[in-house]
Amino acid sequence: MRAEHENIFEVAVREYEPEKDRAGAEAVDRMCDVGPTGAVSLFTDLLGDPVCRVRHSPAFLMLVAETCGEEGEIVGLIRGCVKTITCGRTTPRPMIGTASGGGAAAAVPIYTKAAYILGLRVSPSHRRMGIGLKLVNRIEEWFRSKGAEYSYMATDKANEASIRLFVGQCGYAKFRTPRILVQPVYAHRLSLPKSATLLRLSPAAAESIYRSRFSTTEFFPLDVDSILHNPLSLGTFLALPEGCEWTSLDRFLAGPPESWAVLSVWDCSSVFRLELRGAPRLIRGLAWTSRAVDKAVPWLRIPSVPDLFRPFGGYFMYGIGGDGPEAAKLVRRLCRHAHNMAREGGCGVVATEVAAGEPLTAGIPHWRRLSIEEDLWCVKRLVDVYGDGGAVGDWTRSPPGNSIFVDPREV
């Protein structure tokens, strides 16, 4: 029976054409969002722009799979982007005949051109016909044409079909298991401790700090300046201990205080909206009650569940970092500020994604029931020769670091 279907449906893979394909692509996205009967499902509304989740990357592409014939039907789609990121670090050796100065040389980043796959969708009526494999193969061809050395993707560790396709058929390897941390936005503002000073940095100052302190972090984007100057980036904020004064960027870079923390905020609500469907009436009623009480008596600071059962937006915290014994406490201060920004922006959640071993996780407020403790990232080497990233060897076999830099353009 399956062979008969494969003969009936011939599928062509081509580049997405907005005017022609928008309705069909949105239909496939909607069909793939439907969850099991009786289960709570997360729906995504791309606000009429199927390319929105890759549009802000340096190079991006969306492909569609269309049935052949007079009335071609879009039955699959895939999105991807290419950028230059950090895949490792190295410590330069002093040149022969030069003085080392008695101190260890600073590590420098090793960059590679990497591609990211997201939004692979195949219509439920056309699965198990090789369409997903065809889409992946075609977009990997485009990745190679753009000079990408690696391709990576993220999936739910429970998504067996996705793992079978990418790991079992396409040669990807399980690579990293970061955590997605989500906090609901309450009806009341969160108080900000006075034991820390919060500063808003200019995009130029933020870029200098990120390049100076985080350029050797895995997945750090070489074009971080483009991210920070993007209108969707709502600001970068630096937290310093009480009594510590900010004098200048140069002095901070030359000798930062014992403890400090930094965080940036990205507006996902202008790109897409989310909605939980299928929740029992009891759960929705309890959530409504918590919001009503929180609004009526905000001074009680009762944590309330936002209305996630209608379309809602969120802010994403990225570039979280810091140093010193008080760093986690300062990160918590920054996260509370991000929560208040999200509240003013009418959002339902504020979220971030961090490495499994991120030392600052203790300072990031989140609800366990809304978070994903173990996301799964898989990676594949696309070329046989080593480019600029060759100094790290085969990146797919490298051990995980304590931190990663999650690009908000790919959320």
Instruction: State whether 152 and 223 are in the same domain.
Output: no
Please report whether residue 410 resides in a domain: no
Distance from CA of residue 80 to its chain's centroid?
14
For the segment 46-52, the average pLDDT, to the nearest whole number, is 95
Please report whether residue 249 resides in a domain: yes
Dihedral (Cα; 93, 96, 101, 105), 10-degree rounding:
-10
Please report whether residue 405 resides in a domain: no
pLDDT of the residue at 308: 83
Give 74-122 pLDDT, tens digit per residue: 999 999 999 999 999 998 776 555 555 555 678 899 999 999 999 999 9
Q: In the block, which residue shows the tokens 């449906």?
A: 9
Give 208-224 pLDDT, tens digit per residue: 999 999 999 999 999 99
Instruction: State whether 69 and 218 are in the same domain.
Output: no
Instruction: State whether 149 and 256 are in the same domain.
Output: no
pLDDT of the residue at 277: 74
pLDDT of the residue at 279: 57
Please report whether residue 237 resides in a domain: yes
301 has a pLDDT exceeding 60: no
Instruction: State whether 138 and 227 are in the same domain.
Output: no
| DSSP 8-state secondary structure symbol assigned to residue 273 | E
299 has a pLDDT exceeding 90: no
Instruction: State whether 213 and 120 are in the same domain.
Output: no
Please report whether residue 313 resides in a domain: yes
Instruction: State whether 124 and 231 are in the same domain.
Output: no
For residue 346, give both structure tokens: 């009418």
Average pLDDT of the chain? 88
Q: Containing H/E element for 62?
A: strand 59-67
Give 141-193 pLDDT, tens digit per residue: 999 999 999 999 999 998 999 999 999 999 999 999 999 999 999 988 999 98
294 has a pLDDT exceeding 60: no
pLDDT of the residue at 357: 96
Which residues constitute the domain of residue 197? Answer: 181-363
For the segment 249-276, the average pLDDT, to the nearest whole number, is 96
Give 343-364 pLDDT, tens digit per residue: 999 999 999 999 999 999 999 9
Closest listed residue to residue 75, CA positions, set 37, 39, 129, 34? 129
Closest listed residue to residue 182, CA positions, set 302, 350, 376, 340? 350
pLDDT of the residue at 195: 85
Please report whether residue 31 resides in a domain: yes
pLDDT of the residue at 263: 98
Check which CATH number belongs to the domain holding 350 and give it.
Answer: 3.40.630.30
Read off the pLDDT band of 276 (50, 70, 90): confident
Q: What is the pTM of this model?
A: 0.90
389 has a pLDDT exceeding 90: no
Domains identified in the chain, total number = 2
For the segment 233-242, the average pLDDT, to the nearest whole number, is 97
Instruction: State whether 141 and 48 are in the same domain.
Output: yes
pLDDT of the residue at 38: 46
Please report whether residue 385 resides in a domain: yes
For the segment 18-36, the average pLDDT, to the nearest whole number, is 85
For the segment 187-214, the average pLDDT, to the nearest whole number, is 94
The number of residues in the chain equals 411
37 has a pLDDT exceeding 50: no
Instruction: State whether 232 and 323 are in the same domain.
Output: yes
Could you give the percent of the chain with pLDDT greater than 90?
73
Instruction: State whether 113 and 203 are in the same domain.
Output: no
Cβ atoms of residues 220 and 109 within 8 Å: yes
pLDDT of the residue at 392: 57
Instruction: State whether 162 and 212 are in the same domain.
Output: no
Could you give the percent of the chain with pLDDT greater than 70?
85
Instruction: State whether 133 and 254 are in the same domain.
Output: no
pLDDT of the residue at 2: 40
Instruction: State whether 154 and 218 are in the same domain.
Output: no
User: Within 13 A of 273's CA, how many CA atoms are on the CB side?
Assistant: 12
Q: Containing H/E element for 134?
A: helix 131-145
Please report whether residue 245 resides in a domain: yes
